[in-house]
Structure 1
């Protein structure tokens, strides 16, 4: 469980006014005192809690990411009952990545309330960014993208940081210049259609044999394809290139 903000006991009702200006959610039953100066320490403590939580979540990662955490704003109409102990937590099913929420719950007050504070976590790191617009179905080459820094957390799909994972792949949809390449944006390129004649190669210890066959399914490099040999026998191999399929021995 997240560590509580113990200092909050000393800063109510200033805290209530600050939460009213920061947070959005259901209305509380009791309004705090008016005219009290808000406590800037709460903003700093929330930011520090988030920074620490994000740092802990990234400590086991080998990715060279530069994290940025910003606290959003809640509904300014919100009024909350006084509370002696406000506890931050990450809601179940959410993580501190991209646009997300931080929960704030009162655990010591006449009214137990729970609100959600919008936060944004950016993760800046190396990425391959498209130079120009790309039409769906285009086979990508090394000249299509340039290495630059991008926010990995801006989209749920992971960034493709290794050129070997996107060069020679096909754009799965139309892409815009300036977009960092992500896994959902590319798919393996088809190198021959179903019905194509291919060369089937089988290799063993000290020997290699080949024969002709007809592809029964489209061929994608590195993916299995169904084949009909000249003898009529059905088999499956792995596509090596636009003409060759390799059988496992």
Structure 2
């Protein structure tokens, strides 16, 4: 009897709204409004669909499972082996060359790129336009 009374006095987990998968989503999926549903009274996950839409899944999520922040990453802008513009910037100087990305990257990530003409490998930061910036202003 005391055990039941003690269990009833324990605080209940707080349930709030959560964004869940509307259907099974594969890793690498760019989330859209059709991919997610806001469910009331669901424990865990993200409560605002705007934080999820436009993000890319890092792992598979089954239908009805809450989408957590750890499952998401910024969308990949540059794919491995993609031809990109390598840009060196310094004050008013900008030199561009063509290169091949040696790995995938999102905006702001540092990736390695091989210059197609010289075969030199450099590291640079992915810009919003898909180019790779070697020297920042």
Gaps of 5+ in 1: 1-17, 23-41, 51-68, 71-120, 153-157
Give the CA RMSD over aligned residues.
Answer: 3.3
> More helix by proportion, 1 or 2?
1
Structure 2 unpaired stretches of 5+: none
Indicate the residue corresponding to 2:65 in structure 1: 179
Give the 3 Å change call, closer, same or farther, for CA 159–233 of structure 1 in structure 2: same
Give the TM-score normalised by the residue count of structure 2: 0.68
Pick from 115, 123, 128: which aligns with 2:19? Answer: 128
- Structure 1: distance between partners of 2:52 and 2:93: 32
Instruction: Tell me, yes or no, if the aligned pair for 1:131 and 1:144 is still in contact at 8 Å.
Output: yes
Larger Rg over CA atoms = 1
Which one of 167, 170, 181 corresponds to residue 54 of structure 2? 167
CA contact (8 A) 1:160 1:183 kept: no
Does residue 246 (structure 1) correspond to residue 133 (structure 2)? The answer is yes
Q: Distance in 2 between matches of 1:246 and 1:163?
A: 29
Counterpart of 2:36 (choices 145, 151, 154) is 145
* Partner Cα distance (1:242, 1:167) in 2: 17
> 1:242 and 1:181 mapped to 2: Cα distance?
28
Supply the distance in 2 between the matched residues of 1:210 and 1:165 (Cα, whole angstroms).
Answer: 35
Distance 1:236 1:134 in 2: 33
Contact 2:74 2:106 in 1 (8 A): yes
Encode CA deviations 1:181-239: one digit per residue, 9 max, x unaligned.
11233344444443221112344444544221121223334322111223333221122
Q: Which has the higher contact order (CA 8 A, sep 6+)?
A: 2
Instruction: Give the alignment partner of residue 114 of structure 2, picking from 191, 206, 228.
Output: 228
Aligned position for 1:211: 97
Number of aligned positions between the proteins: 134
- Note the C-alpha offset of 1:172: 1.1
Q: 1:142 to 1:202 in 2, by over 3 A?
A: farther
Going by fraction, where is strand more abundant, 1 or 2? 2
